[in-house]
Amino acid sequence: MKKEFSINNFVRENVKGLKPYSSARDEYISDGSKMVFLDANENPYENGVNRYPDPQQRGLKAVLAAQKGVEPQHILLGNGSDEVLDLLFRAFCEPKEDNVISLPPTYGMYKVLSAINNIENREVLLTPDFQPDVDAILQQVDIHTKMIFLCSPNNPTGNSFSSDIIKELLECFQGLVVIDEAYIDFSSDTSWTTRLAEYPNLIVTQTLSKAYGMAGIRLGICVASSEIINVVNKIKPPYNVNELTQQKAFERVKALDLVEKEVGDILAGKKELLKVLKEISFIEKVYASDANFVLAKVDNADTRYQELLSKGIVVRNRTTQPLCENTLRFTIGTKEENEQLIAVLRMLSKE
The footprint of ligand PMP (CB under 6 A) covers 80-82, 107, 151, 155, 180, 182, 207, 209, 215, 220
CB of 282 to ligand PMP, least distance (A): 26
Question: Which backbone phi and psi does 216 adopt, to 5 degrees?
Answer: -70, -25
Pick 113 or 119: Cβ nearer ligand PMP: 113
Whose Cβ is closer to ligand PMP: residue 151's or residue 170's? 151
Least distance (Å) between residue 293 CB and ligand PMP: 9
Q: Which is nearer to ligand PMP, 7 or 151 (CB)?
A: 151
Closest distance of CB 87 from ligand PMP, Å: 12
Widest Cα–Cα separation across the chain: 72
Q: Which is nearer to ligand PMP, 51 or 316 (CB)?
A: 316
Smallest separation, CB 95 to ligand PMP (Å): 22
In whole angstroms, how close is the CB of 258 to ligand PMP at the nearest point? 20
- Contact between 60 and 253 (Cβ < 8 Å): yes
Q: Which residues contact 148 (CB under 8 A, 6 or more apart)?
A: 100, 101, 102, 103, 137, 169, 173, 175, 176, 177, 178
Shorter beta-carbon distance to ligand PMP: residue 25 or 236: 236
156 cis-preceded (ω within 30 degrees of 0):
yes
**Residue 204: Cβ-neighbour burial (10 angstroms; 0-12, 13-18, 19+):** buried
**Closest chain position to ligand PMP (CB):** 80
DSSP string for residues in 48-100 = SSSSPPPTT-HHHHHHHHHHHTS-GGGEEEESSHHHHHHHHHHHH--TTT-EE
- Nearest residue (CB) to ligand PMP, 212 versus 345: 212
| Shortest Cβ 181–ligand PMP spacing (Å) | 8
Q: What is the DSSP letter of 134?
A: H
Query: Closest approach of Cβ 82 to ligand PMP, in Å?
Result: 4
Question: Strands 145-151 and 120-123, how do they pair?
Answer: unpaired
Strand pairing report for 145-151 and 99-102? parallel
Pick the closer one to ligand PMP by CB: 20 or 108: 108
* Alpha-carbon dihedral sign for residues 7, 132, 321, 310: negative
